[in-house]
Amino acid sequence: MTQNPVKPVHGWRRTLHEIIFEADTPAGRLFDIILIIAILFSVLVVLLDSVTTVRMRYAGLLFTLEWLFTLLFTVEYILRLLCVLRPAAYARSFFGVVDLLAILPTWATLLLPGTHYLAVVRLLRVLRIFRVLKLAQYVSEARHLIRALRDSRRKILVFLLAVLSLVTIFGTLMYVIEGEKYGFTSIPRSMYWAVVTLTTVGYGDISPGTPLGQGIASFIMLLGYGIIAVPTGIVTSALVRPRPVSTQACPACGRDGHDVDAVHCKYCGTAL
């Protein structure tokens, strides 16, 4: 959102922009609170609509509420398009697409009746709640978390690669040891079991039956129990990060990574 190239517009569109997109005026905050309540209720309607017993009894009410929220969100979407300087850029942005997907499925039922699967797309509405994060101090907290995760993405990828290799090798091993008798009917299915075990989920829909298989399973469990320390350590150390590094590059040699209290470039000695 920070690199948003939209310059503020003037007149009523500016006022509208302040209300809809910002949260630092009373009207803007009120709009955000109403929006979040509408989102939560519209999600609840979609959820209840999928429960057979509820749909049987309250079909009419759910239908009415669904159209009410769709109309509300449609008006909101049009207003958003009107009050930004570059509507096309907004429409192509992440939240622009989510805003559209939140209303499209219901309108589509007019043209193509019975689009059951399309209807569940409406649940992407839940992502719109993250708009509300611009309220209050949540932005900086969310940014801190995202930055920590982004900083550790390479370590996490290396870790995931190692986990997937373990899953492949142990899955294959158990396929050979346990065989079809205990539900290890194919290597992909054995790998599914290995993921269930290594991540300490443990459904129990497939579980080892031979003593050797139980021994190896115990080893995988202890491994999974132990290596959960790795992603935890990675993210924690990224969050704890003690010494922030200045983003300033040396004007002479162009190298960066200087401490924030550095006065001279530590590589060539030029004053920063």
Residue 240 beta carbon to a second copy: minimum distance, rounded to whole angstroms: 4
Rounded to whole angstroms, the Cα distance separating 129 from 32 reads: 10
Burial of 100 (0-12, 13-18, 19+ CB in 10 A): middle
Distance CA 142, CA 233 (A): 20
Q: Is 51 in the site for a second copy (CB under 8 A)?
A: yes
Nearer to a second copy, 79 or 227 (CB): 227
Under the binding rule (CB under 8 A), the answer on residue 13 touching a second copy is no
Q: Are 66 and 48 in contact (CB under 8 A)?
A: no
Q: Is 244 in the site for a second copy (CB under 8 A)?
A: no
Of 44 and 78, the one with the shorter C-beta distance to a second copy is 44
Q: Does 59 bind a second copy (CB under 8 A)?
A: no
Residue 265 touches a second copy, criterion: CB under 8 A:
yes
Give the nearer residue to a second copy in terms of CB position, either 81 or 100: 100
Residue 8 makes contact with a second copy by CB under 8 A: no
Considering only 142, 150, 254, 256, the residue that binds a second copy (CB under 8 A) is 142
Query: Quick check: 102 binds a second copy (CB under 8 A)?
Result: no
Q: Which of the 8 DSSP states describes residue 271?
A: B
Do the beta carbons of residue 213 and residue 234 sit within 8 Å?
A: no
Tell me the chain's radius of gyration from C-alpha atoms: 27
- Separation CA 272–CA 249 (nearest Å): 8
Cβ proximity to a second copy: between 37 and 222 the closer is 222
Query: Considering the complex, what minimum distance in angstroms separates the CB of residue 256 from a second copy?
Result: 13
Considering the complex, what minimum distance in angstroms separates the CB of residue 154 from a second copy? 4
The mark string for 28-47 relative to a second copy (x by CB under 8 A, - otherwise) is ---------------x--xx
Q: How far is CA 5 from the centre of its chain?
A: 24
CB atoms within 10 A of CB 17: 21
> Among residues 30, 61, 75, 145, which is the contact residue for a second copy, using CB under 8 A?
145
Instruction: Give the Cα separation of 204 and 194 in Å (integer).
Output: 12
Binding span for a second copy by CB under 8 A among 7-15, 18-26, 49-57, 88-96: 49-57
Residue 260 in the binding site for a second copy (CB under 8 A) = no
The first and second tokens of residue 186, run together, are 């194919």
Q: Hey, what amino acid is at 217? A: A
Q: Smallest gap, in angstroms, from Cβ of residue 160 to a second copy? A: 7
Closest CA to 45 of 28, 72, 64: 64
Which one of the spans 3-11, 71-79, 102-110, 124-132 is the region binding a second copy (CB under 8 A)? Answer: 124-132
Which residues in 162-201 contact a second copy (CB under 8 A)?
163-165, 168-169, 172-173, 175-176, 185-189, 191-192, 195-201
> How many residues make contact with a second copy (CB under 8 A)?
98
> What is the Cβ-side half-sphere exposure of residue 187, based on CA atoms within 13 angstroms?
6
Contact between 235 and a second copy by CB under 8 A: the answer reads: yes
H helices present in 112-152, as ranges? 116-119, 138-151
SS3 242: coil
